[in-house]
A and B are shown apart, each in its own frame.
Chain A
Amino acid sequence: MRSRSLLLLSCLLLSVTKIAHGAVTGEIVGQGGQRFPIAVVPLKNLGANTGDSGRVSTGIADAMVHDLELSGWFRVLDRSAYIENAQSGITLGTFDFKDWSTIGAEGLVKGGFSIQGDEITVELRLFDVYQNKERIGKRYTGRVRDFRRIAHKFVDEIINQFTGVPGVFNTRIAYVSNSGGRFKEIFVSHLDGSEKFQVTDNHTINLSPVWSPDGRSVLYSSFKDRGQTLYLFELYSGKEIKFTPRGGGRYLGGRFSPDGQSIVATLETGGNTNLYLLDRSGNVIRQLTSDAGIEVSPAWSPDGKQIVFVSDRSGSPQIYIMDAGGGAARRLTYSGSYNTSPEWSPKGDRIVYTGRVGNRFAIFTISSDGGEPRKLTSESFDSEDPTWSPDGRFIAFSSNRAGKYHLYVMQASGDNQRRLTGSGGDDTKPNWSPRLD
């Protein structure tokens, strides 16, 4: 039994208290164009000095800056432009809004923290510089090493304030990386690369990690034990289940249903691949397709009633939709000769996929009712493996635009494409977790 588990990293033991409340503005910042200018001040140490103080003060601010810029909705003002003096406070009335309106900030994030042993308490506030008002105030307690997660949670609040929907920065990405070596292993980390955790370390090929809807397990395929099959790894306990197809064959990949009770998996037998409905332990409930060709890469509609998948029944890989109980499928993509790896948006309206353009691959979305696809990435390099954020407003993917494959994130419109990872190797197959506690 392996001892590897996320518990080694830490469980989610943050507690949150609301320390003030402001009116929800519901203001939505324009996509791509105008960005909301915001200042994020390094946090004040409100307690005794410890070895961690300096790192935490700027670390929390830096994590918030990273998230705000990644969202594409904010322009974070450079810290070197701040003119406020160091004696200014962090609560309403203890600082001058003019120090911030002068440099063009419309939003202002201030906070403080204190460390006691392994525990940290963090207060964070969002101020409206125009209205001279406090909009959000929160107090978080947790372990010192989780300080970046506190920053992610507060940014999710800020985004809720501006857009009416919480952000998605307290989430993780599961992905495959060869870390510059020969083997492909599974990793999970926050979007900013922090709390990186290696799920597999078996020196073979591990592929296609996907989250369970409760965010506690990762399902992946591996060649680690005589041929390929699926494994379900529980992050917090380190427990793992191996899926063994009873009638022989190999599981190539799978996806949890939105309710977490079943899995649609690709099973290869005798050269043919078909889709099967499995229970959480890997037992077959039902065969969903029975085609002589290739049927792979299934994903669920958010209501769990339909499955989108790839089939080569037309002679080339194209995207199809069928009822979750199986039966006839309707073809969704007609443009392009090679369309794969679909994922249904959490809102249900669009499907993102990888399509071939010449000798390159690009990310497209298409309405789940069909119609014209929308190309989101350039064909001057390859972009593949798209995955939706849990709010459907972002798409993460892998791309070789900087040489090796790295993970990127963009808005669902294709705007604001930004790189997430920079390991020495190729990072591929991202899968975005649900929102975490």
Chain B
Amino acid sequence: MKTRSACYVCGGFLLLVLGACAPSTTTKPDGSGARSSDSSTAGQDARSGEGERGGTKEATTGTSSLKDMQEGKPPITPASSPLKDVMFDFDRYDLSADARTTLRGNADWLRSNPSARVEIEGHCDERGTNEYNLALGAKRAQAAREFLSSLGISPDRLSTISYGEEIPVCREHDEQCWKQNRRARFVILQGRSTS
């Protein structure tokens, strides 16, 4: 319980800090080639080729899912993103072996880009009630945050938000689609590569 209250404080602080710069998309000008071998990690199967930002060598995680929705874009993590989505089972927020592998890869990038601040978004499939799914998404984002923290990434660099079932990647009503929507997504809010 003590650790939780400590989290509220830093979470609130982070919100203030990040709120000021949230709308801007920070791209990582280099290093994308080096990380491209990570594209085989778990969660990557959910991506489909989306044409945005094609032609550049910049690595980006894309903008927040809410901003994507407002701009009429699917909230897809670009294939070139150095931070991969983590996938979950229905009504679960524990991390599978695949999820842990993905998070280790994300932690590697965060270690080599120490000024980067990231917002972890928790998402759910459409089944169940909105409020429960908002809570479940918060659990998923927090599970990812805590695992990254256990790998030595400062929790001060990681904020969380839950969008519940509200901003799906895929809108069909079947398991093929639902599994793509049960995810934690990582959006870089600020911080370029220091390498």
User: Min CB distance, B17 to chain A, in Å?
Assistant: 12
Contacts of A310 in B (CB 8 A): 129, 132
Binds B, one of A105-113, A162-170, A185-193, A263-271: A263-271
B135 and A252 contacting across the interface, CB-CB below 8 Å: yes
Contacts of B128 in A (CB 8 A): 317, 338, 340, 356, 361
The verdict on B139 contacting chain A, using a C-beta distance below 8 Å, is: yes
Contacts of B108 in A (CB 8 A): none
The verdict on B141 contacting chain A, using a C-beta distance below 8 Å, is: yes
Selected from A248, A266, A316, the residue in CB contact (under 8 A) with B9 is: A248
B166 and A184 contacting across the interface, CB-CB below 8 Å: yes
A208 and B72 contacting across the interface, CB-CB below 8 Å: no
The verdict on A33 contacting chain B, using a C-beta distance below 8 Å, is: no
The verdict on B105 contacting chain A, using a C-beta distance below 8 Å, is: no
Scan residues 249-295 of chain A and give those whose CB is less than 8 A from a CB of chain B. Answer: 249-250, 252-253, 266, 268-273, 290, 294-295
Mask, A223-267, CB within 8 Å of B = 1, is 100111000000000000000000111101100000000000010
Identify the interface centre among B7, B130, B136: most chain A CB within 10 Å of its CB.
B130
A16 vs B128: C-alpha distance when bound (angstroms):
44
A296 vs B132: C-alpha distance when bound (angstroms):
6
User: Min CB distance, A417 to chain B, in Å?
Assistant: 20
A268 and B135 contacting across the interface, CB-CB below 8 Å: yes
Categorize the interface residue count of chain A. 35 or more
Instruction: Give chain A's interface secondary structure class.
Output: strand
A248 vs B141: C-alpha distance when bound (angstroms):
16
B131 and A296 contacting across the interface, CB-CB below 8 Å: yes
The verdict on A150 contacting chain B, using a C-beta distance below 8 Å, is: no
A328 vs B160: C-alpha distance when bound (angstroms):
30
Selected from A207, A270, A290, the residue in CB contact (under 8 A) with B8 is: A270
Contacts of A295 in B (CB 8 A): 135
A253 and B22 contacting across the interface, CB-CB below 8 Å: no
Contacts of B70 in A (CB 8 A): 182-183, 203-204
Q: A246's closest neighbor in chain B, by CB?
A: B12
B142 and A270 contacting across the interface, CB-CB below 8 Å: yes
A271 and B141 contacting across the interface, CB-CB below 8 Å: yes
Selected from A271, A356, A385, the residue in CB contact (under 8 A) with B138 is: A271
Q: A181's closest neighbor in chain B, by CB?
A: B72
Known: A205-B66, A205-B166, A248-B15. A182 touches B132 (CB 8 A): no
The verdict on B95 contacting chain A, using a C-beta distance below 8 Å, is: no
A182 and B135 contacting across the interface, CB-CB below 8 Å: no
- 9 nearest CB pairs, A to B: A271-B142, A248-B12, A270-B7, A273-B135, A248-B8, A294-B135, A340-B129, A341-B129, A296-B131
> What are 15 contact pairs spanning A and B, CB under 8 A?
A203-B70, A205-B166, A228-B162, A247-B12, A253-B131, A268-B135, A269-B7, A272-B142, A273-B135, A290-B1, A294-B139, A316-B91, A338-B128, A356-B127, A361-B128
Q: A271-B142, A296-B134 are in contact. List 20 more A-B contacts (CB 8 A).
A: A182-B70, A207-B130, A223-B66, A227-B15, A227-B161, A228-B134, A247-B9, A252-B135, A253-B134, A266-B135, A269-B4, A271-B138, A273-B135, A273-B138, A296-B131, A317-B91, A340-B128, A340-B132, A361-B127, A384-B129
